[in-house]
Structure 1
């Protein structure tokens, strides 16, 4: 396994400082997020970041984003949906520059204005459009399971990935903690099988049963031994990226601790 940290847990303001902290902590990679007004929209800054991570010996496993909550790929509004597709295309371009071969995509948001069946069709079309772009760049569009009231079973998740992959490289970015609220991550992993291209890890406390239940690995109710066994069963030996919040005080102390726990869990 190779270990990375997502931008959600970065303790410093700028990407370069976080990269240096992660390299010092023994991480193999750093996973930046495309944000509404962040540096990944600037080609020169992306080039500088690419040179910096190369210099200090880090890789970029994927480019992530939170923009698809505000610009859903399943939105009934064509302009909103198009904005989400453009964000995805920018992620692919950035991934290409950073020598990352994956992007993390939230495929849909089901809510009171977006019916499930319509969301499925629009998401399939949008992800397919991004997959065609990704094919040209050598970047896989990885669909993540999130709390979006969509793809609520591993069987449906697998079917969606297979359908979308008819347009280009599409896979699963499987988030262990996101499933624990309503399912068993180890079961999802075995069902998704070789569709799993990337893995996010965090833990979840079922006694809280809200978004506040998310916590650091080893502090919740995920059966990590079963998760590790399931990953071994599907011959997964790729990136494991922690997606956790920084500490409220001394945030720079979180990444080294989580890195040590990842080694304990997956070595």
Structure 2
């Protein structure tokens, strides 16, 4: 397994070159880039980023020995799970842009968020069917691209168990639609290791973050440093090894205290990931 960091974890005013330089110096093998609204950060991709710009970004990353781990986005906002076909088309176009970015940047995976936020009373059944429809309509397109579309468990009430996620992925029945398992997003209400064993070979990418419960399951909590929460990292890495995962562990984290220099934060995250990866050797 290899160390990676999501670009959202970097200082927003850092250029691509500055971010790549810092992450490389701190020992990361790769960085996950994001498609955001214009102006989100100095190192965000957008729906308007050109192919020439993408190749330049790839070239700059290579100069610092960095790979692009994948392409995430902040833009879905429930579009793939919407009842309205026009809204779903917006989500599909976001996914298409991610796939274009991935191909140009030399990575084989993109992060996709199906469903919508069901806390507002939306029908979970309808969100599942709408998301399935949107992705199944793109199935041939995805397979032709040979880019893995990795569905992530986020805080939208859509994938609340590994069985939900496994059934949804299996129903899509495509070798290029897999799981993006975020370990920290399940700590509050579930057993993180069980997700890995149940998802198994479906897992194509992993996000890591720390989370500390207020008490037992379903009692709330807070995001914390990678090693400060309730995640049994040796058990996580052992389970990942058992299911044959040897890809990136991408830290999607934010500073939990003030730093005079963000480089110190990057060094700390890198050291924390080193400690996690050593668990795979236990």
> Which bracket does the TM-score occupy, shorter chain normalised?
over 0.9
**Cα distance, 1:264 vs. partner?**
1.2
Q: Where does residue 191 of structure 1 map in the other structure?
A: 198
Pairwise mapping of residues 118-133 of structure 1 onto structure 2 (< 5 A)?
118-133=126-141
The 1:231/1:81 distance shift into structure 2, 3 A limit, reads same
Structure 1 Cα separation of the partners of residues 94 and 185 of structure 2: 23
The 1:259/1:131 distance shift into structure 2, 3 A limit, reads farther
Question: Cα deviations across residues 109-141 of structure 1 (Å, max 9, x unaligned)?
Answer: 142353111100111122233443222222000
**Cα distance, 1:175 vs. partner?**
0.4
**Normalization by structure 2: what TM-score?**
0.88
Q: Secondary structure at the match of 1:205?
A: strand
Q: Secondary structure at the match of 2:80?
A: coil
Aligned partner of 1:144 among 152, 157, 160: 152
Aligned partner of 1:39 among 33, 45, 67: 45
Aligned partner of 1:245 among 242, 254, 279: 254
The 1:97/1:205 distance shift into structure 2, 3 A limit, reads same
Contact 2:109/2:149, CA 8 A, preserved across alignment = yes
**Normalization by structure 1: what TM-score?**
0.93
Gaps of at least 5 residues in structure 2 are 39-43
Contact 2:34/2:45, CA 8 A, preserved across alignment = no
Contact 1:144/1:173, CA 8 A, preserved across alignment = yes
1:50 to 2:51 alignment: no
Question: Cα deviations across residues 196-249 of structure 1 (Å, max 9, x unaligned)?
Answer: 111000011101855x61122111111112111211211211111000014543
CA RMSD of aligned residues (A): 1.7
Pairwise mapping of residues 31-180 of structure 1 onto structure 2 (< 5 A)?
31-37=32-38, 38-40=44-46, 41-43=48-50, 44-69=52-77, 71-111=78-118, 112=120, 114-166=122-174, 169-180=176-187
Structure 1 Cα separation of the partners of residues 243 and 82 of structure 2: 34
Contact 1:185/1:227, CA 8 A, preserved across alignment = yes
Contact 1:88/1:130, CA 8 A, preserved across alignment = no
Question: Cα deviations across residues 21-64 of structure 1 (Å, max 9, x unaligned)?
Answer: 11111100010110022434311321210111122211111100
Q: Secondary structure at the match of 2:81?
A: coil
Structure 2 Cα separation of the partners of residues 129 and 54 of structure 1: 35
Structure 1 Cα separation of the partners of residues 138 and 75 of structure 2: 15
Equivalenced residues, count: 264
Q: Which is further off, 125-134 or 222-231? A: 125-134
Structure 1 Cα separation of the partners of residues 266 and 135 of structure 2: 32
Q: Secondary structure at the match of 1:226?
A: helix
Q: Secondary structure at the match of 1:62?
A: strand
Structure 2 Cα separation of the partners of residues 103 and 115 of structure 1: 26
Gaps of at least 5 residues in structure 1 are none
Q: Where does residue 257 of structure 1 map in the other structure?
A: 268
Structure 1 Cα separation of the partners of residues 142 and 150 of structure 2: 10
Structure 1 Cα separation of the partners of residues 264 and 115 of structure 2: 35
Structure 2 Cα separation of the partners of residues 130 and 239 of structure 1: 26
1:213 to 2:222 alignment: yes
